[in-house]
């Protein structure tokens, strides 16, 4: 497994997991690290001549320095933009956290320094009636990084997500404040409340960016905090 591997989760579907994940990859690239980005489960894909393709997975595939085949980056893809377990049931398929983790391990056999595995939706998004997305980092035994979509309600979402991560026995390596609401009132007070109530470091603050590129997001990330040691 890579020297540094993390599971990226978010406080909700629109927290900005993908662009933050891509920004982390870009920052690690700039530090000379061999990087890999995986999105093992995606819903909301387009039919292409090559098969189903998810825009978020394509961003990770393009940004990572280790170029994997699409099916390695995103082995489980569904066309409708709905909860993955519902999409799976509509296709008479069964999702298994351990099996998804096995797909990730196969890709992670590459000699990478820094690997990010992005979840779908939030921490408690179901894979089935028995398992949630949390089973993937649990099976891989890697810590989580939580992306907090900074908007009204983010304090509650952040604290509940962090509590769930802790209850599942997954270490929380830190959190990233991503300002999804450009006009958010009392941004600093919300950020400081989360920082003071979480037992995890604030790794980066991403301002509101219009159509951000990974290299632009990377400017706001001190990647040495994650890749050192």
Residues involved in catalysis:
39
Ordered alpha helix ranges (H), the chain = 17-30, 55-63, 70-73, 84-90, 97-107, 135-140, 154-167, 187-197, 214-218, 224-227
Q: Can you read off the two tokens belonging to residue 99?
A: 């099996």
Given strand 172-178, what is the order of strands in its sheet?
35-38, 114-122, 4-10, 144-149, 172-178, 202-206
* Distance, CA of 96 to CA of 76 (rounded, Å): 11
Angle between helices 17-30 and 55-63 (to 10 degrees): 10
Query: What is the H or E stretch that residue 46 is in?
Result: strand 46-48
């Amino acid at each position: 497994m890579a020297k540094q591997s993390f599971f990226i989760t978010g406080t909700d579907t629109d927290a900005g997991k993908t662009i933050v994940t891509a920004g982390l990859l870009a920052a690690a690239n700039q530090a000379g690290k061999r990087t890999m980005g995986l999105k093992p489960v995606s819903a909301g894909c387009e039919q292409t001549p090559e098969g189903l393709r998810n825009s978020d997975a394509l961003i990770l595939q393009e940004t990572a320095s280790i170029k994997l085949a699409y099916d390695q980056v995103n082995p489980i893809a569904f066309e409708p933009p709905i909860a993955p377990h519902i999409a799976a049931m509509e296709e008479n398929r069964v999702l298994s956290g351990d099996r998804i983790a096995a797909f990730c391990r196969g890709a992670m056999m590459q000699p990478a320094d820094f690997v990010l595995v992005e979840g779908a939706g939030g921490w408690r998004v179901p894979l089935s009636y028995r398992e949630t997305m949390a089973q993937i980092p649990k099976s891989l035994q890697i810590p989580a990084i939580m992306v907090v979509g900074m908007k009204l309600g983010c304090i509650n979402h952040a604290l509940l997500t962090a509590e769930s991560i802790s209850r599942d026995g997954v270490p929380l390596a830190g959190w990233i404040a991503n300002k999804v609401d450009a006009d958010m009132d009392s941004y600093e007070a919300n950020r400081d409340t989360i920082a003071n109530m979480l037992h995890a470091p604030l790794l980066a603050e991403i301002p509101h960016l219009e159509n951000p590129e990974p290299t632009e997001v990377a400017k706001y990330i001190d990647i040495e905090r994650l890749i050192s040691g």
